[in-house]
Amino acid sequence: MISGPARGLRQTWTLAAHDVRQWWRAPWAIAAALIPPVALGLLAYVLTFNLGHQPIALVQESHGRYADHIAGIFHAQSGDLYSLTSTDKANATRLFDSQQVAAVVVIPPGFDAAAARCPALQPDQIIHDYTYARSGCPAAKLLVTVDNANSNFAGEIRRALSETVGFFDAPDVVTPVSETQLDMSDLNPYRVNVMTALTRANTVDYIHYAVIPCLVLLILSVGVMGTALLCARDIERGTARHLALAPASSVVLVAGRLLGGVLVSLLVVVPVLAIGTLTGLISPPPGHWPALVLLFLATAICAAGLGAVIGATMRGARAVSMAAAVICTYLFFLGGGFTTIQFLPSWLRHITTFVPTRYAIDGLRQSLFYPGMYGFGADMRVLLGTAVVVVVAGGVFVRRAWSR
Amino acid sequence: MTPTLAALGGGFRAEIQQLRRSRLLVVLTVAEAVIFLVLVSIFGLTANHVPTAIVDSDGGHLSHQWAQDMSNTYHTYGVRYMDARSAQQALARGDVAAVLYLPANFSQRMAHHTMTRIHFHVDNVNADLANEVELGIPAAARTFAVHNHFPGIRVVSAESDLVRNEVGFVPYLVVSALALAAFVVAGTLAASAVAREYETRTLAYLKLSPTHPLIPLSGRLLATGAVSAVAVAVAALLVVAGYRVTPVHPLEMAAVLLLCVVIFSCIGACIGILVRRALPLSALIFGLALAFYLDSGSLEPARFYGNWLWGIAHTSPVYYAVGILQHAVHGLRVTPETIGVNFAVLIGWAVLAAVVAWLALRKAVVA
- Tens-of-pLDDT digits for all 404 residues of chain A? 567 778 888 888 988 998 899 888 888 888 888 888 888 888 777 766 655 578 999 999 999 889 999 999 999 998 888 999 999 999 999 999 999 999 999 999 989 888 887 766 555 555 444 443 444 567 788 999 999 988 888 888 998 898 898 888 887 777 665 555 545 555 678 888 888 888 887 777 777 787 788 889 999 999 998 898 888 888 877 787 777 777 778 888 889 989 999 999 999 999 999 998 898 888 888 888 999 999 999 999 999 999 999 988 887 777 888 888 888 888 888 888 877 777 777 788 888 899 999 999 989 988 888 777 778 899 999 999 999 999 999 888 888 887 76
Chain B residues near residue A229 by CB distance under 8 angstroms: 279
Whether residue B35 lies within 8 A of chain A, CB to CB, comes out as: yes
Note the pLDDT tens digit of each residue in B186-219: 999 999 999 988 888 887 787 777 788 888 889 9
- Report the residue of chain B nearest A152, measured CA to CA: B169
Nearest CA in chain B to A70: B155
Distances (CA, A) of A13 to A249, A258, A261, A306, A307: 14, 10, 12, 20, 19
Listed range (A107-111, A381-385, B30-34, B61-65) with the worst mean pLDDT: B30-34
Phi, psi of A106 (to 5 degrees): -115, 125
Give the global pTM: 0.83
Angstrom distance (rounded) from CA B304 to CA B298: 12
B339 has a pLDDT exceeding 70: yes
Name which of A120, A162, A198 is nearest B142 (Cβ-Cβ). A162
What average pLDDT does this structure show over B42-65? Answer: 86
For an interface test with B, which of A47, A74, A150 has the most B Cβ atoms less than 10 Å from its Cβ?
A: A150
Q: What is the pLDDT at residue A127?
A: 46
Tell me if chain B has a CB within 8 Å of the CB of A141: yes
Task: Look at residue A1 in the predicted model and tell me its pLDDT.
Answer: 55
Type of residue numbered B150: F
**Residue B301, min C-alpha distance to chain A (Å):** 8
Q: Is the pLDDT of residue B315 over 70?
A: yes
CB–CB contact A168 B154 (8 Å): yes
Decide if B275 and A28 are in contact by the 8 Å CB cutoff: yes
H helices within chain B, ranges in order? 3-21, 23-47, 61-72, 84-93, 106-111, 127-147, 169-199, 214-242, 250-275, 281-294, 307-313, 317-330, 339-366
Give dist(CA B199, CA B273) in Å, integer: 11
**pLDDT at site A8:** 83
Amino acid A124: pLDDT: 55
Q: How far is B330 from chain A (nearest CA, A)?
A: 9
Instruction: Check A194 against B120: CB less than 8 A apart.
Output: yes
> Which among B45, B73, B137 has the least Cβ separation from residue A344?
B45
Whole-angstrom Cα distance, residue B40 to residue B183? 16
Does B292 have pLDDT greater than 50? yes
B29 touches chain A (CB under 8 A): yes
Quote the CA–CA distance of B268 and B273 in Å, as a whole number: 9
The pLDDT, as a whole number, for residue A130 is 40
pLDDT score, position A134: 47
ipTM (interface predicted TM): 0.84
- The more confidently predicted of residues A367 and B325 is B325
Give the integer Cα–Cα distance in Å for A293 and A289. Answer: 6
Mean pLDDT, rounded, for B250-255: 96
pLDDT at residue A133, as a whole number: 46
| Alpha carbon distance A340, A336 (integer Å) | 6
Which are the contacts of B79, defined by CB distance < 8 A and separation ≥ 6? B52, B54, B67, B70, B71
| Residue in chain A lying closest to B334 (CA) | A149
CA dist A240 and B198 (Å) reads 26
Average pLDDT value for residue range B279-303: 80
pLDDT at B111: 83
pLDDT tops 90 at residue B57: yes
Interface of A with B in 116-135 (CB under 8 A): 118-122, 125-128, 130-134
Kindly list the residues from chain B whose CB atom is less than 8 angstroms away from the CB atom of residue A142: 155-158
Mean pLDDT of chain B: 88
Assess whether pLDDT exceeds 60 at residue B260. yes
